[in-house]
Amino acid sequence: PAPRTVLLTGAAGGVGTLMRELLPGHGYALRPLDLVPVPGAPDAIVADLADREALREAVRGVDAVVHLAGISLEAGFDAIVAANITGLHHLYEAVREEGVPRVVFASSNHAVGFTPRPREGEPLIPVDTPHRPDTFYGLSKAFGEDLAQFYWDKHGVETVSVRIGSCFPEPTSVRMLSMWLSPADCARLLHAALTAPGVGHTVVYGSSANTRAWWDLSSARALGYEPEDDSEKFAERLIARKGLPAPGSADDLYLGGHFCVDPPRWPH
């Protein structure tokens, strides 16, 4: 049977807010969790990833976890370790102890951010390209994918690690024309990741069917994901407004774009 009750961590964040709107349309009852109160969801669990007891209680009885919580930008190393490494470990321990069969883990393009982006006519980046994190943040996502693999191999907890590109209502930079994951496609992808049988640990790229895509969506499609959106409809206006990235700039050279040169910027 399809999973119905899903713990959504990071429910007050950018992607979390979008998914709270869209996932119920795919048949899910969400249990939202965040570090801060979730607007419009008075019953949401307010808990820190440092609180193992709270996490254990939060995962009890759910069919799956969609884990979006943590730091989503470059930050100081210690803050990243606490939220994205120690916190992720706490979440997986809770999942293992409570027998939750599956996690969908929000990984990121920044786990492979220093991968050169393909030029015209070059092959798309495959999902088994080596990790090349562009930030401490990206490093934590690379570690998270390894942690997910470990919990599958050692404890039989299934995970789909989704290397999300840029999930916003609209792309806001030229680089995002390649990376864009429309909110509706994000919900479709999470639904596929929650329902595909026998995923073990599977890594997928998360973007829409963008004309300017840089990466290979075949492992996502193999789960049943069928993207319906394409950023191309925004391209002309965006390029007119922003111009193309300067040749030799990080946005021009690498999948991770400006993250390759960004300083820490968390907390804001």
The nearer residue to ligand 15L, 3 or 87, going by C-beta atoms, is 87
Total residues found in the chain within this entry: 268
Contact residues: ligand 15L, CB under 6 A = 72-73, 108-110, 166, 176, 179
Question: Do 2 and 23 contact (CB within 8 A), yes or no?
Answer: no
Question: Do 186 and 197 contact (CB within 8 A), yes or no?
Answer: no
The nearer residue to ligand 15L, 100 or 186, going by C-beta atoms, is 186
User: Minimum distance from CB of 63 to ligand 15L (Å)?
Assistant: 26
User: Minimum distance from CB of 110 to ligand 15L (Å)?
Assistant: 5
The nearer residue to ligand 15L, 38 or 68, going by C-beta atoms, is 68
CA pair distance 258, 103, nearest whole angstrom = 29
User: Minimum distance from CB of 43 to ligand 15L (Å)?
Assistant: 26
CA pair distance 167, 177, nearest whole angstrom = 11
Within 10 angstroms of residue 249's Cβ, the number of other Cβ atoms is: 15
Q: Report which of 210, 164, 212 is spatially closest to residue 190, judged by C-alpha positions.
A: 164
User: Minimum distance from CB of 116 to ligand 15L (Å)?
Assistant: 16
The nearer residue to ligand 15L, 230 or 251, going by C-beta atoms, is 251
Q: Which of 137, 151, 205, 254 is catalytic?
A: 137
> Residue 239, CB half-sphere, CA atoms under 13 Å: how many?
11
Residue 137 known to be catalytic: yes
Question: Do 19 and 168 contact (CB within 8 A), yes or no?
Answer: no
| Residue indicated by tokens 């990741």 | 193
Annotated catalytic residues are 137
